[in-house]
Homo-oligomer: A and B are copies of this chain.
Amino acid sequence: MKRLFPSLQETATLGSVFRRFPAKLGPLVAQLNLVMRGESDLTIAQRELIAAYVSGLNACAFCHGAHSVHAQAFGVDVGVIEAVIQDPLSAPVDPKVRPILSYVSKLTRTPAMMIEEDAKAVYDAGWSEDALFDAVQVCGLFNMMNRILEGTGITEYYLDPENVEEHQLAPLRSEECYTEFGRQNGVTD
């Protein structure tokens, strides 16, 4: 942890940030739940993989670790997530997902440099505009969350994605996972 906010303790996590500023985050957790658990042409596993990937690109260890675990809760092998971070083009994911990963990678690094071919590669792989918009939303949301974590100094995640147990994964499968996390940490509507 970096002591950017002296009132946060050395052991602070995202929950600590929520409890410190409970009145400022209500709609955000609702938006996270809507984008990550709502209806979509992308599976939940795909959305969590995008969240983990974008967070890895930004080197946000907290979000990267957390969403590697979320993705596992929906059946993604931890080795796949590691391979995507090393090189999405050769990782053992459904090839259909690769142009989506390329799109969010570029949108994360150089948002103003998208060209039409980036989108065409996604559509050519068989995705709908709704799917691409949802990928853009996940990309946008985690570019936000990564900055909330890094901007408050929360640089580590408390679980080891390689050693999580079923009882830790089960609650992540809740349809209200993100809003529940907010509620548990005092975030008000």
A15-27 vs B, CB cutoff 8 Å, 1 = contact: the mask equals 0000011001111
A97 at the interface (CB under 8 A from B): no
Contact of A141 among B30, B64, B144 (CB under 8 A): B144
A99 to chain B, nearest CB (A): 7
Query: A48 in the interface, Cβ–Cβ < 8 Å?
Result: no
Contact of A82 among B120, B134, B141, B153 (CB under 8 A): B120
* Copies of this polypeptide in the complex: 6
Encoded as 1 (CB less than 8 Å from any B CB) or 0, chain A from 39 to 83 comes to: 000000000000000001011110011001000000000010110
* A-B contacts, 21 listed (Cβ < 8 Å): A2-B115, A21-B130, A25-B31, A27-B27, A27-B34, A31-B31, A56-B117, A59-B112, A64-B117, A82-B124, A85-B117, A85-B118, A111-B146, A111-B150, A112-B112, A112-B150, A117-B161, A120-B162, A136-B147, A140-B148, A140-B151
> Which residues of A does B touch, CB under 8 Å?
1-7, 20-21, 24-28, 30-31, 34-35, 38, 56, 58-61, 64-65, 68, 79, 81-82, 85-87, 89-90, 99, 102-103, 107-108, 110-121, 124, 129-130, 132-134, 136-137, 139-141, 143-148, 150-153, 155-156, 160-162
